[in-house]
Structure 1
Amino acid sequence: MSHERSGLLPGLIAGLVAALVCAAALGFAVLFQDRLPKAVATLGNGHALSVTLSLLIALLVALAVGAARPRNRALPVVAALYAAAAVAGGQISGASIMIGAARRTPASGTSSSPRLGDVTAANAGEGLPHALAVYREPLGQTWQMWLYIAVAAAAALLLVTLRVFRVRRADRAALAQQAAEAADEPGQEYRAPFEPAQSPAQQAAPADLFTPRKPAKD
């Protein structure tokens, strides 16, 4: 089965684009989380919002991959990796800019909220080592971040798996219907290989005028 028919290549491209967009959006959400309503940001100690964002990322990645009518069984695993990478990338990028901005341009006055101007490559590069160091902490301290990644991966895996099964089942049903329609059509008379297509009257005709015939019975 070709890449085009299996939906592998379109699914890979669409899922990658969706994962990059989701990672950027999550990075902004992490960077400007203090501007969200306090009731939303602190619900369930902040876990509710993070899990919701992880599920939303998984849904968007699954929709992007599923739009290619995927038939390849490898795409659910790829979608899970895309969703997990989008969550991890969003966490790291947002935290890197936040840490880098605080280290390079300490806040003046009473306001310490990040600004849109803080989104620079220099700030991201300054804070990247510190953001990555968080993932090397003991699991008992970083389980929240790994939980959000796992939720996104599991949800994307499930959604794309269901989509692949549905597309493959629809294809099998279409093939079965075509076979049934072909069987219902009137078939041509069977003849052996190399046998000329002749009617029974033509086959019973004499070879020429001089061939003796049986006398007709009275």
Structure 2
Amino acid sequence: MPELFYWVVKAILAPLIHLFFRPWQEGVENIPREGPVILAGNHLSFADHFIGALHVPRKVISLGKAEYFTGRGIKGLISRIFFTGVGTVPIDRSGGKASEAALRTGLRILRGGHVLGIYPEGTRSPDGRLYKGKTGVARLALESRAPVIPWAMIGTFEMMPPGRVFPRFGVRTGVRFGKPLDFSRYYGMEDDRLVLRAVTDEIMYALMELSGQEYVDKYAASAKVEMIRAARAGSGDD
């Protein structure tokens, strides 16, 4: 049933997105037509959830915070329906053992031969720049031995930046799919932190090349905290 629901939602949304935003794509032929695949993308906007998968001929399963599925009332119901419809699997993102559980969920999806969409930055960019990737994507790549396809969103930040409820019309969005990245030279080394960092940085470099974003060597979550503190200091709240 979830499989059918995904394609029904996509069939409804796709014509509307094409009508209002005229999305384009480059390199979708780089995605294998069968077998496990990791789509590793930059994360600019809430809109990435549906713009990113629009051109992919296979179902894209992504990992999303459990809060998307636990809300109450009409808003909670709509959230559950939407995220189920776009192929999101709920995970606990509180860290520690929860991070390991999320990794196992991702591996289970890949071992089932599916396409896993993941955002290595861990959260949306606060300012449209590309931030440092977390190494979970590297562990998934090395343990599953699935090909990694860089998945670059273009224009989604301008279309629907963080905090905006409704998208801006007239902004044309796009997606670039890079060539598969080969990490076979690192197989069996998924417990080496330096290797995990090297693999992650290679993925982020490929995303930077595809997206044209400025790269920032810090985590997006840390940058958000710094921006909030600076805003409070500027307004005299501290």
TM-score category (smaller protein)? under 0.3
Larger proportion of helix: 1
Larger gyration radius, structure 1 or structure 2 = 1
Give TM-score, length-normalised by structure 2: 0.24
Query: In proportion to residue count, which structure has more strand?
Result: 2
Query: Please, what TM-score do these two structures have when normalized by structure 1?
Result: 0.25
